[in-house]
Amino acid sequence: AQKITQTQPGMFVQEKEAVTLDCTYDTSDQSYGLFWYKQPSSGEMIFLIYQGSYDEQNATEGRYSLNFQKARKSANLVISASQLGDSAMYFCAMREGTGGFKTIFGAGTRLFVKA
Amino acid sequence: DAMVIQNPRYQVTQFGKPVTLSCSQTLNHNVMYWYQQKSSQAPKLLFHYYDKDFNNEADTPDNFQSRRPNTSFCFLDIRSPGLGDAAMYLCATSRPETAETDTQYFGPGTRLTVL
């Protein structure tokens, strides 16, 4: 079974608008971490934001926020005020407390920001 | 600036001709990872070093080897590249407190072409 599911292969958003990228996860661990990475066409994976399973507050980093709904096992990324430079592939990822050092990645969502 | 550097950015090799990709880091991180990423797919972990301890993923082909001569450098050796090994190879580093809080920092990647 998929442990990380990103159901949106591609998304379009108008510049300056907000966009939500969906991510659901599946784990039986009580302790886990959720990550979002951005990958522009150049190829480099850029860390955006982290949410721990025990964190009660949703994580925020500048224009990025993580809408963490633990009971629903979802960790959606919200990008506010989209910019043309936000056009990229976005990966949701998870580390399980019992999973060692293996990061589980979703299939990714390609975001296109329109001028 | 502290960073993860990969050389070369682009590598062309011939079928069956050994090739070495390199990764260096100035972050003083104790964990280094190698990922293979094929077009429009999520990165796939090949192996990682925790300090000097080498950890191979069960499904990593024997054709792929790695060396870490010191904290700063890590090499990926592909002994006999096949056409199916053409991909982007990503190096990442981290200094984890726990497995689930482990944020990885990636290099720009090396795009390998096999002729």
pLDDT digits (tens, 9 = 90+) for A94-113: 998 877 788 899 999 999 99
> Are A43 and A28 within 8 A, CB to CB?
no
Closest-approach residue (CA) in chain A for B95: A101
Express each pLDDT in B46-62 by its tens digit: 999 999 999 999 999 99
Burial class (CB in 10 A: 0-12, 13-18, 19+), A58: middle
Q: What is the mean pLDDT of chain A?
A: 94
Q: How far is A107 from chain B (nearest CA, A)?
A: 5
Whether the pLDDT of residue A79 is over 70: the answer is yes
Express each pLDDT in A22-57 by its tens digit: 999 999 999 999 999 999 998 899 999 999 999 989
Chain B CB within 8 Å of residue A32 CB: yes
From the list B43, B55, B100, the residue facing A31 with the nearest CB is B100
Chain B CB within 8 Å of residue A10 CB: no
Whether the pLDDT of residue B7 is over 90: the answer is yes
- Tell me if A101 and B99 make a contact (CB, 8 A cut-off): yes
Our CA angle for A15, B88, B37, nearest 5°, is 80
Express each pLDDT in B69-114 by its tens digit: 999 999 999 999 999 999 999 999 998 877 777 889 999 999 999 9
Strands B19-25 and B105-106: unpaired
pLDDT at residue B100, rounded to an integer: 74
